[in-house]
Amino acid sequence: MVMSVEISAFDKLKEDPELHDYLVRRVGKSHLRQRIGIEKEHAADRFGQGRTFIHIENWQTAAAVIRFVLKITNLSERGRANILNFQVRHNHVQLAHLPGQFDGLTILHLSDLHLDSVQGFPDSLAQKIRDLDYDFCVMTGDYLFRTHGAHDEAMEGLERLCREIDGEIYAVLGNHDSILMTKPMESLGIHLLLNEHTAIEREGNSIYLAGIDDPHYFSADNLEQAYDGIPDDSVSVLLAHSPEIYRHAAYVGFDFMLCGHTHGGQICLPGGLALAYNSAAPRYTGAGAWSFDLMQGYTSVGTGSSVVPARFNCMPEITLHHLSGDLHK
């Protein structure tokens, strides 16, 4: 029997100096060393690393127990069917300083795709978003089902999805994602924002879209670097995988924060009551719209699923954020 050997991100960089140089140019040496170091030593840790103590996504025994319970209760097929029951949700956001040229701007928000979770998932999602009306798309991390290992299948699913998305795509990485995914994602035309920002321009006016690297597990986020250079009187939108840095994001000066990670609990009690969010942030930031200080936020319950391919009382979400200005300004 041939045993497959999982090659670490560190080993891949040693074997591919061209990729190493590409990533150094993109994120800098210190960021790359931090990311690769944690991916090499702690990618599959169940306890201790990151902002929460327990990482159920790395706990194979927990996944096996959940699958067993679903099987003996005859809920496996129902839970599996639910992961394709995509719900389109509309979130209306009023931003006081939004330039008139951006009034009515609509952002398509996808999060926690876990594209290699079940066969056919990318095709089903692509069909669902095909006829939606929006200006550009954002993705807030977690493209892989597992937190480590090969990402080829997930990137194939992402390529399939990108073919159905109209307009520009902006994205960040999550705790399931390797820094090695930067190059294949950017080769698809995705604007990956790794502690940086970009201007969205319309008729001589701009708003700013910033993104940070994963703040939950890798702690590779740098809000100050992402915000640096954004004019204080401009509208700024932050993409982050997790809501856990909500307080710092508000104090830095962001107006609107889009994130995911929590899956809304994924397997919830009736009424959508989540047993856990796997997040160190307050529960009110765990799903849907929320606010803190002067910043508004939105946490997607996720478009895909992790740990087990099943959902209950928490359907997968496709979000359309509709921006408008202050009617009284």
d(CA 151, CA 168): 23
Residues 6+ apart with CB under 8 A from 56: 62, 63, 278, 307
Which pLDDT band holds residue 4 (cuts at 50, 70, 90)?
very low
End-to-end Cα separation, the chain, in angstroms? 71
d(CA 326, CA 329): 6
The pLDDT of residue 118? 86
The pLDDT of residue 47? 46
The pair of structure tokens assigned to 44 is: 């599959």
Rounded to the nearest integer, the mean pLDDT of the chain is: 88
Nearest alpha-carbon partner for 182 in 223, 238, 141: 141
The average pLDDT across 296-300 equals 98
d(CA 39, CA 217): 10
The pLDDT of residue 205? 95
The 3-state DSSP class for residue 318 equals strand
Nearest alpha-carbon partner for 118 in 148, 82, 147, 87: 82
The pLDDT of residue 117? 85
Position 241 pLDDT exceeds 70: yes
The pLDDT of residue 68? 73
Percent of the chain topping pLDDT 70: 89
d(CA 111, CA 239): 10
Buried b (16+ CB within 10 A) or exposed e, 266-294: bbbeeeeebebbbbebeeebbbbebebee
Which pLDDT band holds residue 316 (cuts at 50, 70, 90)?
very high
Nearest alpha-carbon partner for 145 in 176, 123, 181: 176
Three state DSSP letters for 104-152: CCEEEEECCCCCCCCCCHHHHHHHHHCCCCCCEEEEECCCCCCCCCCCH
Which one of 3-12, 137-146, 188-197, 272-281 scores highest in mean pLDDT? 188-197
Percent of the chain topping pLDDT 90: 67
The pLDDT of residue 274? 83
Position 115 pLDDT exceeds 60: yes
The pair of structure tokens assigned to 305 is: 């699923």
**Tens digits of residue pLDDT in 156-200:** 999 999 999 999 999 999 999 999 999 999 999 999 999 999 999
The pLDDT of residue 263? 92
Domains of the chain, earliest start first: 56-325 (3.60.21.10)
d(CA 110, CA 131): 15
The pLDDT of residue 5? 41
> How far is residue 165 from each of residues 16, 80, 135, measured CA to CA in Å?
31, 25, 10
CB 263 within 8 A of CB 233: no
What pTM was computed for the model? 0.89
